[in-house]
Amino acid sequence: MFKKAKQTRVFQDVVEQIQDAILNGKLEPGSKLPPERTLKDIFNTSRGTLREALRVLEQKGLIDIKLGVAGGAIVKRIDAEPIIESLALLIRSGEVSLEHISEFRIKIEGSMMELAAEHAKKKDIQELESLFNEAKAFYNNNEWENFLKTDEKMHTHIGMMTRNPIFRFVQKSIHDNIHRYYAEHLSMNKKRALENLTDFKKIIAALKINDAKTASSIIMDHVKRFSDKMQKNR
């Protein structure tokens, strides 16, 4: 599976060979890489260079390095968590402003909704309606924290309905990290929650008749209105 690393760029070659083996499926999630001693001999490199390469692969979320007798480098299932975490740190650092997120969401969620309307199956719309009813129950009980979490789930579900893993990932990344803006700039109350529910009720109705343009127009207006409220209260 592996071969002697190119001596002109040993470190990069070790990272790329192991990374390619994981991405090509030669190393499946849960499998363990050969021991350090074996890898060092195969790549013809120093232990220090090998360990640094493994640390880079761990930072990329491709492997998990476990210590102890039964430890080693374990191949991880590739998921979006490391990137979502990076986006969360970027938002908290202030590098991504409320305006940036608003501008991005208005454009992307409009296009995403059109695609969702085209690809949504009956069970997808039923699941969105179920989330809507869950949010409505929290609204009736004045449970605003749970209401917002369910609202995030509804937006994330729209990304899933596109059947496009890139849109799904982007939508989840954004909505896993914008909760703090609501907490800081737009505390939820009966009036705002009802406005939110009214928008989603219209979206669900449009989805049921495959009216992609109306659903897209509603979600874009929804995002803009709530973003404007947050910017006004900031």
CA atoms within 13 A on the CB side of 76: 17
* Structure confidence by residue, pLDDT tens digits, 150-179: 999 999 999 999 999 889 888 888 888 877
- CA-to-CA dists, residue 214 to 84, 105, 217, 221, angstroms: 30, 17, 5, 11
**What is the rounded CA–CA span in Å between residue 40 and residue 55?**
15
- Within a domain: 5: no
Q: Which of 197, 207, 83 is nearest to 150 (CA)?
A: 197
3-state secondary structure of 168: helix
Based on the fold, state whether residues 127 and 157 are members of the same structural domain: yes
Predicted pLDDT of residue 182: 76
Q: Where are the alpha helices (DSSP H) in the chain?
A: 10-23, 36-43, 47-59, 81-93, 98-119, 122-140, 144-161, 165-175, 179-185, 190-208, 212-233
pTM: 0.72
Based on the fold, state whether residues 56 and 85 are members of the same structural domain: no
**22 is in which domain, residue-wise?**
10-75
Predicted pLDDT of residue 179: 74
Based on the fold, state whether residues 201 and 160 are members of the same structural domain: yes
CB atoms within 10 A of CB 95: 9
Predicted pLDDT of residue 78: 81
CATH number of the domain to which 202 belongs: 1.20.120.530
**What is the rounded CA–CA span in Å between residue 196 and residue 192?**
6
Based on the fold, state whether residues 70 and 162 are members of the same structural domain: no
Based on the fold, state whether residues 163 and 134 are members of the same structural domain: yes
- CA-to-CA dists, residue 230 to 65, 138, 162, 176, 227, angstroms: 42, 22, 28, 17, 5
Ramachandran sector of residue 96 (left: φ over 0; alpha: ψ -120 to 50; beta: rest)? beta
Based on the fold, state whether residues 131 and 165 are members of the same structural domain: yes
Based on the fold, state whether residues 168 and 203 are members of the same structural domain: yes
Based on the fold, state whether residues 88 and 103 are members of the same structural domain: yes
Tally of structural domains, the chain: 2
Based on the fold, state whether residues 88 and 181 are members of the same structural domain: yes
Based on the fold, state whether residues 56 and 112 are members of the same structural domain: no
* Structure confidence by residue, pLDDT tens digits, 82-93: 777 777 777 777
- Within a domain: 94: yes
**What is the rounded CA–CA span in Å between residue 225 and residue 32?**
50
